[in-house]
Structure 1
Amino acid sequence: MAPVSKWCVVANVSLPDLEHLAQTADLGDLTVYYRGPEGIHLPEDPPFVVDVATLTPHSPGAVAPTLRIESDVVTVRVSPLNENPVYYAVNRTKGSFAYFTDLLLAPLVLPALGLPVRFLGSTPVHECGTLVAGVSRLRHGTVERTRRTGGRWLRETGDEHDVLGDFRAPHRDDPLAAGEAQLEALAAEIARIDAAAPEGTGYATLLSGGIDSGTVTYLAARAGLPLTPYSVASPWGDELDDAAELCAELGIDLEPVHLTEDQIITSIPEAVRWLGLADAEVVEVALTATTVQRLGVVPADEVLLTGYGSDLVNAGLYRPFDHRDDLIEQVLSAVDRTRRSNELSNRMPLAYGTTAHHPFWSWPVMRVALETTPECKVREGREKYHLRTAMGRRVPEPIAWRKKIAVHHGGGLQDGVARRLGKETGTQDRQAVYLACFAGLLDQAAQGELDPTDPWELFERAVRSVRSR
């Protein structure tokens, strides 16, 4: 199934290039352009609130990033973790502005604001910067209101307390107790996901030989969820035997997924498209999930549960540190970077009509992890010591304490992609290819093609562009 991006735009001018692509609501001073999940429509009368993560009308009382839209006021609330970004562009001379949830809409929005469309060609330095000139990303924890008053538009911005600052003195100092607390929080999050799903929903995991996806798979299976674990093999390595070992322990079947080099490489443009950026490591970490999604490996009626996010909060990919404060800072910095990377956003599943959850990246689980001391997380040369200690009470020692790097985190896959791109372009600058892919996507978007219809052609065009420099 080809992807169809979902998005929402609120502007104080008409955006004619979007009219044939979306549901339109003319509120007088503001116009809304909305393309949500199949069968979902905006309420007929304002005010209405759109959940930025799901692009559905927001449920009262729920805590989520939102767009609240009235006839002359738009209020944007950005979550502290900011997985699903909201972008902003303004022409102060003309007083025209727009908020939108998809960066690739920029070529269809900026001209109507009286602004040029210009690809910057390099990774933005400012935390609110993007790859498109004149478009900024709202900061995490921001509440922003733009309202019409006295014949002009007034923009008010306030920053909420940054919750990450509360975790510089972690207090959970017993590895077993900290691991058990995290498993309890994970089990509760999986139960919450299941309670909100329709009856009879099936589930899937992307299972490697690592502790993260293994923990999620174990807890989902032990909760009695109808579960299918999928394990990905690439030409550069696999962990099928390790994944099968856990499945045998749980008494469930493993579904191996063999991806070819070309299938992974062809996923690069789509990874860049859904991320909205071109940072090499972020793109490469996203390649496995993107390929699985693009090829329809996991059926659309199965809810995907991943182990993503654990490395960040549990110090799974740490650098050597001399002092406990160094590791605390590494963890907090990793979380901070990720809330600007879009790697855990919901944009790709929405486009494919699927559902994905990252239990480790839910706030109750993150809180337990961030309250856990460095001495619990890294001990005796092992990362995620606390999590392994707790899981060691549930599964055999070789499963809990296996020391391997999951294929989706780079390792052999990242090296394999680097070698292929070096051979194709004659340069080791992988990011140049990803930036060229974004430029190609931006060009297509200007023609109204918001979703990649021929990823291979986009990739080859990017390679030719880099090779010709």
Structure 2
Amino acid sequence: MAPLSKWCVVSNAPLPDLAALAAHAEPGALHVYHRGPEGAALPGEAPFVLDVGTLRAEADGTRDPMTSSTLRVDADAVVVRISGLNEDPVHYAVNRMRGLFAYFTDLFLAPLVLPGLGLPVEMTGTAVGHACGTLLRGVSRLPHSSVHRTRYEGGHWRTETGDLRDPLRDFREPHRTDPAAAGEAQLDALTAEIERIDSTTPAGTGYATLLSGGIDSGTVTYLAATAGLSVTPYSVGTPWGDELADAAELCAELGIGLEAVHLTEDDIIASIPEAVRWLGVTEPEVVEVALTATSVQRLGAVPADRTLLTGYGSDLINAGLYRPFAHHHELIDQVLSAVDRTRRSNELSGRMALAHGTGVHHPFWSWPVMRVALETAPECKVREGREKYHLRTAMGRRVPEPIAWRKKIAVHHGGGLQDGVARRLEKETGSSDREPVYRACFAELLDRSARGELEPVDPPDLFERALGRVRSR
């Protein structure tokens, strides 16, 4: 099924270019445009609260502000609370001379929003880092752990911003110092998260995992299977390598079948525009990490009626390269920096899953699991030349030693796939710098959005046109 983007826009200006694409409400002085998932509708009157991740209306105060971003609309005010994790972004644009503003959850709506505010649509001249916001002039991404209030008073719209406590500040002195105990605590938290997911999913739902030979996806697959979920693992092979044999070893241990997914080079390359579309960023490492999951989603390799559980996020909270002479606090900084960087990179955003109408969960990136991992001392995570030592120790009590302690060949998160993509793009452009290709995809997507084409309906053609932009420079 072709993707259909889901989003919400709140503005004090009418935005006619959005009217034909979404439900439109006018609570008082505001305009709300909403295209949510099936069965999600705007409430009949203000005030109402939308969960930014699901785009569904929620009772005020029912979501944990640490883990869920929300958008509250009153007749003459809008309040946006951005969670401490901030996977799903909210963007803000304002024309202060005219007193017009908009909050919107999809960056590629900018060509349909900014003209209504009297603002131009322009890409920045150079790539921006995660901390700098977006690739569009005049459009900012609201930062994590913050509150933004815009209200009408005294004949003017006034905006106030405030910071909430950043939860990462609490983990400078991790207290879990026993690897086996820390690993067991994390498995307990993961089990509880998987059970929580299952309890909120319709009865009879089948599950899928993206299973490599690594400990992360292996742990999620093991816990899902042993919890009694009907789970089918899918393992991806590419022209640059696979881990099918390693994945099959765990499946044999669990007594479940394995589905192999073979992606061609062209499959992966054609997924670049869609990866850029749902990420909204063009940093090569971020785009390339997303290509496997994007290809699987784009090609429908996992049936749409299965809820996907991944091992993504574990590398951030549990890992760190083995560095025998690294200082304790340096390793702590490494983990916290990785988490901070990822909550601004959109790598774990749910926008692609919403567009495709599929359920995707990242159990390692749930706050209870993250909290246990961040409470764990780095000496538990990196020991005897092995990363994720604590997790392997705990899993080693459940599966054979070769499975728990196998050294992973990176396929999903770089390694052969990233090198293969780099070689292909250098062949296409004559340059080893991949970012211009991804920026050209962004520009092409932006132009199409201005025409109301908000989804990449022909990714190969879009990619070829992006290459044409790069070659013509």
Partner of 1:285: 289
Aligned pair 1:31/2:35, yes or no? Answer: no
Distance 1:320 1:90 in 2: 49
Q: Is the 8 A contact 1:278 1:438 kept in 2?
A: yes
Q: State the TM-score, normalized to the length of structure 1.
A: 0.98
3-state SS of 1:49 partner: strand
Shift of 1:182: 0.3
2:412 match: secondary structure: helix
Structure 1 portions without partners, runs of 5+? none
Matched, 1:62 2:66: no
Q: Structure 2: which amino acid aligns with 1:91? A: N
**Greater shift after overlay, 150-159 or 212-221?**
150-159
1:45-94 deviation digits (Å, cap 9, x = unpaired): 11111110011112442222110001101000101010000000000000
Change (3 A) 1:12 1:319: farther
Q: Report the Cα offset of residue 154 of structure 1.
A: 1.0
- Structure-2 residue corresponding to 1:224: 228
- Whether the aligned pair in 2 keeps the contact of 1:122 and 1:435 (CA below 8 Å) is no
Match status 1:302 vs 2:303: no
Pairing 1:240–2:241 present? no
Note the residue ranges of structure 2 that are not aligned, 5 or more in a row. Answer: none
| Aligned equivalents of 2:132, 2:78: Cα separation in 1 | 20
Task: Report what 1:452 is aligned to.
Answer: 456
Equivalent in the alignment of 1:461: 465
**Equivalent residue, structure 2, for 1:10:** 10
TM-score under structure 2 length normalisation: 0.98
**AA partner of residue 69 (structure 2):** P
The CA distance in 2 between the partners of 1:392 and 1:87, in whole Å, is: 44
Q: Could you tell me how far 1:320 is from its partner in structure 2? A: 6.7
Given candidates 330, 342, 358, the residue that maps to 1:326 is 330
> 2:406 maps to which residue?
402
Distance change (3 Å), C-alpha of 1:322 and 1:271: same
CA contact (8 A) 1:84 1:342 kept: yes
| Residues 128 and 138 in structure 1, CA contact (< 8 A), matched pair in contact too | no
In structure 2, the residue matched to 1:43 is: 43
Task: Give CA-to-partner distance per residue, 1:1-57, whole Å, 9 cap, x none.
Answer: 111000000000000000000000012310000000023211111111111001111
Residue from 73, 77, 89 that aligns with 1:73: 77
Does residue 430 of structure 2 align to residue 429 of structure 1?
A: no
Look up the match of 2:389: 385
Query: Which one of the candidate residues 277, 282, 299 is aligned to 1:273?
Result: 277
Change (3 A) 1:176 1:269: same
State the distance in 1 between where 2:271 and 2:234 align: 18
Assess if the C-alpha contact under 8 Å between 1:89 and 1:136 holds in 2: yes
Across the two proteins, how many residue pairs are aligned to each other? 469
Kindly provide the CA deviation profile for residues 267-323 of structure 1, in whole angstroms up to 9, marking residues without a partner as x. 000000000010100000000000000011111111100000000000155667521
- The 3 A distance-change label for structure 1 pair 300 and 294 is same
Output the amino acid matched with 1:182.
Q
Change (3 A) 1:38 1:311: same
Distance 2:377 2:409 in 1: 23
* Whole-angstrom distance in 2 between the partners of 1:316 and 1:449: 41
Conservation of the 8 A alpha-carbon contact between 1:131 and 1:277: yes
